[in-house]
Amino acid sequence: MIETVLQDVRLALRTLAKAPAFTMAVVATIALGVGATTSIFTVVDAILLRPLPFPDSERAVVLCETNSAIGNWCGASPSNVADWTRASRTLESAGVARTEPLIARTGSETYGVVGGIASPGFFRVLRLRPMLGQVIDDRDMDRGANHVVVVSYLFWRERLGADPLVIGRHLALDEQPFTIVGVLPANAYLPGDELSRVQVWKPLTASIDNVEDRSWRGFTAIGRLAPGASRESLQAELETIRAQLASAYPEANRNWGLRVGGLRKELVGDVSRMLWIFLGAVGFVLLIACANVANLLLVRASGRSAEFALRASLGAPRRRVVQQLVTESLVMSLAGGALGLLLAVWTTGAFIALAPGSIPRLAEVTIDERVVAFAFLLSVLTALFFGSVPARQASKADLNVVLKGLRTTGGGGTRLRSALVVVELALALVLLVGAGLLTRSFSRLLAWDPGFDRTGLVVSWMLPPQGAGSAVPVMEQVRDAVAALPGVRNAALVSAVPLFGGVETGGLSIEGRPPFAPREMPTIEWFDCGPHYFGTLGVRVLRGRLLSPADTAASPHVAVVNETLARRFFGGQNPIGQRVTVQNHPSEIVGVVSDIRPLRPDVPPAPQIYWPIEQYPRGAAYLVLRTTPGIGGIEKSVQARAASVTAGIQLTPFLTLDDRLAKNLVSPRFNMLLVLSFAIVAMLLAAVGVYGVIAYSVASRTREIGVRIALGATPRRLVASIVGRGMTLSAMGIGVGCAGALGLGRLLASLLYGLPANDPLALSGAIALFALVALGACWLPARRASRVDPIAALRAE
């Protein structure tokens, strides 16, 4: 058997070497399909299929407190998590963490860092072992002993000079001294995009906020299952504990549920759908490539019918003919697979470079032995797929007809080639419609209008030094000083900026109305801001008045609401003068302003309420500036002016609204370009398939065409006849593809922004473009046929 296989391989190599153009076309087509598929599989395998890179990661879970009023949000209260851990038998360990912006000082240099606060259980769940020193443990949680930090490898290398004796050194954070007790290794795994960027970790109790507030749930909570326990048993046990806590702390736990999820699945989130869509799309490209190769092999096999007939007449069984053709297919497929693997190395690198940083586990994507095995297996399966059908078709040739030198019309082979082309066209149209939907969706994002002029808007997080007196008056003084700078047209303070990130929510109650049912309690976004905030943004006042400097802590508590809140809860009634309570903060509505539209056009504006910052004071705030475009050095001038007002005040680097929008466009642009590239390749391959079928049909009908021309057929009628046949195939492919495109649209729904999955413009545009490409593919061989010399055609036959 081995000798027979080697003989077939040697014969296949000699045969393919005699047709270099054909061989190169097939190998290149296979390389394109296998390379693209392998590249996307590499990403899917690393992100979705492999365990997280820490010991026993499959036992890691996410603990989410849920509330029907806030959708699929996931967070947890540190106090609740601590009680769950103490009372649970199926939970081996659990911990919480969140980011906290910090201002660091080493020597004379001051800079902003991404800080984090965490409980010791957080590091135990991840089995994190420090490179130097230790991680945060239970002893570091005590008051007075909690001014310790663990730094990341990058921070240690870039800010601390990679000092091997760094343990015990002091680091100033927000003007408070902390002792470095540990350095994490370079490959330390931390879940989530935000937590993975933390440079300095503090104990949970060292936060400037009150982390003991049981109603504060802005933390990522993770746990580790005890050996032999399942997520289902943990869910059931924690439900019992949750009910006990709801009875013990009703105010903090009313209307809150619990969900236990796998850490890997929770981290990937919506990205999994996107990656599976990418893999399906590139699978379509592979199928189209296989169909094209099958068509090429069918044409080549029909041209070798005399060879097969001669071998059969000499006693070769049909099985040997099939085996020889499959061997040729396998040789070409393995060559294409090897070339495709090289292509995958390049395309995977390009994918990583261009992909949005929000994709989790992107740094883990690499081509290894699993990927090589996948490429090899894919090449073999591809060879069997496109090689077996032409081989079986060729083995069924009528020997009498072939040996007599007659040419058949090849009814069966023609129908098979036509069917393959229809499949190619349908798959390509599905991808083209998907690309059209993503392109239309992306254009809606580009046309985003926030409802005000966004030119020159910048924002910075401002943190006054501790001990500088009450924070709000100090920040107001800085605001006044900065507003007087040349190039600064206006300035304002606000607790959180929706368009720049950061939002706080609470339940709503309206005085004089019955309270909302627990499951119907609306969630309101709330902000405290200075009197210049709406003027700086350019938000219009619709009713009443805006906040003013007279709204101080000593004056009656007032609020301004947006038009969405006014319309939803007051309808045609005038909201001015109504008293509402949000987040246990009662106030009287004195004004209604226009909505600030979210960055995503498919997300409606949320109901929002704004309080004077004097009546809801805090220790830090965002500084929002409207600057004159084109003036340089504004950031340094603002920092210098702020420092002249209060020494030690910290401002993070400026972020413009246009930069925020550009960041929001990275992922949609990437999705669009990737699917669009697949669609273009698929469309070109399908066009080549149509061209090949029509060209072969014309070549096999040379005698018929010569006779028809000799009998008076005009070139126009010949072109119309040939193009008509090709367009009939195209119409069948478009019809089948439209049904598939509607299904793909539903899969893409989560990636579309304010666009229906069956958008008629995207569908009709894709069909029109596809029809034009198919028409061109049909017209070229038809035009060549119309110029056939009848005498030369008949003589050749």
| pLDDT band with cut points at 50, 70 and 90 for residue 101 | confident
| pLDDT band with cut points at 50, 70 and 90 for residue 123 | very high
User: Which residues, at least 6 apart from 522, have a Cβ–Cβ distance to it below 8 Å?
Assistant: 69, 507, 508, 516, 568, 569, 607
What residues form DSSP beta bridges with 625?
458, 491
Of residues 180 and 760, more confidence is placed in 180
Of residues 160 and 793, more confidence is placed in 160
pLDDT at residue 657 greater than cutoff 70: yes
Distance, CA of 683 to CA of 769 (rounded, Å):
10
The pLDDT tens digits of the residues spanning 356-387 come to 776 777 878 888 889 999 999 988 888 877 77
> What is the pLDDT, as a whole number, of residue 796?
53
| pLDDT band with cut points at 50, 70 and 90 for residue 532 | very high
Structure tokens at 588: 């009287």
The C-alpha angle 162, 166, 172, rounded to 5 degrees, equals 105
Question: In what helix (H) or strand (E) does residue 736 lie, and over which residues does it extend?
Answer: helix 715-747
Of residues 295 and 534, more confidence is placed in 534
Read out DSSP for 486-498?
TTEEEEEEES-BG
| pLDDT band with cut points at 50, 70 and 90 for residue 409 | very low
> What is the pLDDT, as a whole number, of residue 129?
92
| pLDDT band with cut points at 50, 70 and 90 for residue 617 | confident
Q: Are 684 and 437 in contact (CB under 8 A)?
A: no
Of residues 406 and 20, more confidence is placed in 20
b/e 730-752 (16+ beta carbons within 10 angstroms → b): bebbbebbbebbeebbeebeebb
Q: Helix 657-700 vs helix 271-303: angle between axes, to the nearest 10 degrees?
A: 20
Q: Are 62 and 261 in contact (CB under 8 A)?
A: yes
pLDDT at residue 273 greater than cutoff 50: yes
pLDDT at residue 390 greater than cutoff 90: no
The pLDDT tens digits of the residues spanning 307-351 come to 666 666 666 666 777 777 778 888 888 898 899 999 999 988 888
| pLDDT band with cut points at 50, 70 and 90 for residue 545 | very high
- Pairing of the two strands 200-203 and 109-118: parallel
| pLDDT band with cut points at 50, 70 and 90 for residue 395 | low
Mean pLDDT of 6-32: 82
Mean pLDDT of 544-551: 91
pLDDT at residue 467 greater than cutoff 60: no
This model's pTM is above 0.85: no
- Pairing of the two strands 220-225 and 176-183: unpaired
Specify the amino acid at residue 17.
A
pLDDT at residue 406 greater than cutoff 60: no
- Distance from the Cα of residue 117 to its chain's centroid: 27
- Pairing of the two strands 170-173 and 176-183: antiparallel
Q: Are 631 and 487 in contact (CB under 8 A)?
A: yes
User: Which residues, at least 6 apart from 35, have a Cβ–Cβ distance to it below 8 Å?
Assistant: 339, 340, 341, 342, 343, 344, 347
Sign of CA dihedral 450, 455, 461, 467: negative
Distance, CA of 360 to CA of 48 (rounded, Å):
10
| pLDDT band with cut points at 50, 70 and 90 for residue 701 | low
In Å, what is the CA distance from 189 to each residue of 64, 127, 477? 21, 9, 43
Distance, CA of 462 to CA of 474 (rounded, Å):
11
Mean pLDDT of 479-484: 90
> What is the pLDDT, as a whole number, of residue 69?
60
Please give the span between the terminal C-alpha atoms of the chain, in angstroms, as a whole number: 42
Distance, CA of 448 to CA of 598 (rounded, Å):
9
> What is the pLDDT, as a whole number, of residue 351?
86
Distance, CA of 292 to CA of 485 (rounded, Å):
67
Distance, CA of 502 to CA of 624 (rounded, Å):
14
In the chain, the percentage of residues whose pLDDT exceeds 70 is 89
Which of 464, 472, 527 lies closest to 495, judged by CA? 527
pLDDT at residue 676 greater than cutoff 90: no
> What is the pLDDT, as a whole number, of residue 435?
85
Q: Are 714 and 796 in contact (CB under 8 A)?
A: no
Mean pLDDT of 65-85: 82
Q: Helix 657-700 vs helix 702-710: angle between axes, to the nearest 10 degrees?
A: 70
> What is the pLDDT, as a whole number, of residue 152?
94
785 secondary structure, DSSP code: H
Average predicted confidence (pLDDT) for the chain? 83
Taking the CA of residue 588 as centre, how many other CA atoms within 13 Å lie in the half-sphere pointing to its CB? Answer: 9
- Highest mean pLDDT among 228-232, 254-258, 628-632 belongs to 228-232
Read out DSSP for 330-396?
HHHHHHHHHHHHHHHHHHHHHHHHHS-TTSTTGGG----HHHHHHHHHHHHHHHHHHHHHHHHHHHT
> What is the pLDDT, as a whole number, of residue 519?
66
- Distance from the Cα of residue 411 to its chain's centroid: 47
- The residue with tokens 């000799």 is 710
pLDDT at residue 153 greater than cutoff 90: yes
> What is the pLDDT, as a whole number, of residue 410?
47
Question: In what helix (H) or strand (E) does residue 277 lie, and over which residues does it extend?
Answer: helix 271-303
- Highest mean pLDDT among 1-15, 128-142, 652-666 belongs to 128-142
| pLDDT band with cut points at 50, 70 and 90 for residue 302 | low
Distance, CA of 509 to CA of 272 (rounded, Å):
39
Distance, CA of 317 to CA of 312 (rounded, Å):
6
Distance, CA of 643 to CA of 319 (rounded, Å):
87
